[in-house]
Amino acid sequence: MNSSNYMNRVLLLSLLLAILCLSCGKWSRRAGVYDFPQILQADTLRVLTLNTSTSYFIYRDQPMGYHYDMIRDFCSHHGLVPEIIVAGNTGAMLQMLQDKEADLIAYGVPVTNALKDSMRYCGLQQISHQVLVQRAGRGDTLLTDVTGLIGRQVTVIDQSKYLDRINNLNNELGGGILIDRIDSDTIVVEDLIRMVSRGEIAYTVADDDLAMLNHTYFGNLNVDLPVSFDQRSSWVVRKDTPVLADSLDSWIENRSSGPAFLRIVKRYFEETKGYSYVGRPSFREISGHGIISPFDSYFKRYGEETGIDWRLLASVSYQESNFETEGQSWAGAIGLMGLMSATAASLGAEGEQLLDPEKNIRAGTEYLKSLLHIFRFIDNPDERTKMALAAYNGGIGHVFDAMALTEKYGGDKEVWEGNVERYLQLKRLEQYYSDPVCKNGYFRADETIKYVRDVIDRWEIYKKSLSLPSV
């Protein structure tokens, strides 16, 4: 073999090895040991989860969720970047983990003997049960024992574990519970919880973590009465990654009583996120001198600079913060205009600057202006404003998803009421948020829909009471 042919073969072999090394690490992950030391070397933890209100979702264009925040804390502790992979269901997650498409499942997988041969339960573990969801307002009769359900109607989703449980409970009590079944294609458990809060149905059944999360939205609910035995659930890794499992167990043992862990629990299951469905929007009384707030001069200044009605800015600010300069929402929206830290940073406001009224209002006005510009293809200015407000509150990704769904199903994607609003609401259903035209997954739209309505209604009140400043 001459030296030229030899060199050509060496170069070809080197090229093939380089291609193997650059193929996202899949070859090494599948072919050999890929435990926590290798994960640390790669700087990335591949995490499987489901798109739900208790595990992982996108809100205000930021990833959130109880399980997501927990795994992010683990990754931060070890200097890792979480790569989130959303699966369709628990079965799909388990198969993907077994096929080494991910490193762990950050979701409450029920603990069963069947999985213990191939999987290891570790990390965040929970003991949960199903509870009765009932109203607890003035004049409501609170049930404190399951025997009180005899002769009463309980509404559950058909062909669900909740139906199975209420049927079993009915048999245990010797009958008498009136079981109302709802079609699972058009409704989810959170819809039934909302209906209980509104007084449209009397009772439903939900997992206690989901019930507690919804109690932070609907303060007139009671979710204290268990109707099932405890069920253990846990994060899961493969049996061949014992070091990862031990690292997760060590992390949870050291962090479970710490402030970061407790803050995450409080964020999702304790902090009030409530809103009412009735009545006109609340608003600060306009003084006899035509003053809405102490910050009107800033609303007027930046409204004039951007071409946005200052009274609209005031309405947004009241909705976001009630004009409290140092307020922060459960989702992390800060200050008068309710800005997420990442959004504010992109507009030149960071850290303590977000608590400065002028800087916060300037950044919030610039953000609303950018959203109005994004929706400039909508000719009707009123509809453009509604879309921008929806994006301001819920995130632009979900609004574009809803517009895509509206167009797909024959609606008008440039009209809010009855069109984009409707499909934004439908993004709580898997058949819609998993549609190929959607890029941002599950969304709970109640707050956003109310937000748009309240801001617009309050703006109308302000416009009737106050004229624009003379130029």
Q: Which of 190, 320, 366, 383 is catalytic?
A: 320
* Euclidean distance between CA atoms 213 and 206, whole angstroms: 11
136, 221 contact by CB (below 8 A): yes
φ/ψ region of 336 (left if φ > 0, alpha if ψ in -120 to 50, else beta) reads: alpha
| 209: nearest Cα among 128, 149, 280 | 128
Measured in degrees and rounded to the nearest 5, phi and psi for residue 258 equal -85, 165
CB atoms within 10 A of CB 111: 16
* Euclidean distance between CA atoms 14 and 28, whole angstroms: 17
Cα separation of the two ends of the chain: 87
Angle (CA) 207 209 214, round 5°: 95
Nearest 10 degrees: Cα torsion 418, 422, 424, 429: -170
Q: List for the chain the helix, strand, coil content (%; round to 5).
A: 50, 15, 35
Give the CA distances from residue 26 to residues 34, 40, 120, in Å, rounded to whole numbers and listed in that order.
10, 15, 22
Does the active-site annotation cover 350?
Answer: no
- Which residues are catalytically annotated? 320
